[in-house]
Amino acid sequence: MDPTTALVAASAAHAGFSVVVSVVVYPALADVARESPRQWSTRHDAHSRRIGYVVAPLYLLVAAACVWVLATGPQGWAWAALTANAVAAAVTALRAAPTHGRLGREGPDPGLVRTLLRADRWRTAAAVVAVVAALLAA
């Protein structure tokens, strides 16, 4: 496998995961926040534990593919894919993860839930841009 193909594969996996989180997982969490606030802590803690088994290896895979492409001298659309993957990672690290932390500590505050959903939409958009750019780079 060459580095660009690895970037396509990793970006596609990340985009697919992000779309599932945006369409299925986070709306379900938002429903719990609205409909069953007493169950929030249990549900959010379970989500946080379980999602880590997918997120950690996936982000390592994306990072490894990006480093591989960087090491080979990216050109054209590869730069766009690298940038979009970096944006997705930054949104996760700087907005989504801290918001999850606050939701875990403070409970299902509607403003925090909206912040999480908004961050997730940005992250998903960046992940989709990354896979499209990676495909154009291939």
- Tell me the residue range of the domain where 22 lies: 3-137
- Share of residues in the chain with pLDDT > 90 (%): 88
User: Closest Cα to residue 83, out of 18, 22, 11, 9?
Assistant: 11
Count of structural domains within the chain: 1
Q: In this model, does residue 17 exceed pLDDT 90?
A: yes
- Share of residues in the chain with pLDDT > 70 (%): 100
pLDDT 10s digits, 68-120: 999 999 999 999 999 999 999 999 999 999 999 999 999 999 999 999 999 99
User: Model pTM?
Assistant: 0.93
8 with 131: CB under 8 angstroms?
yes
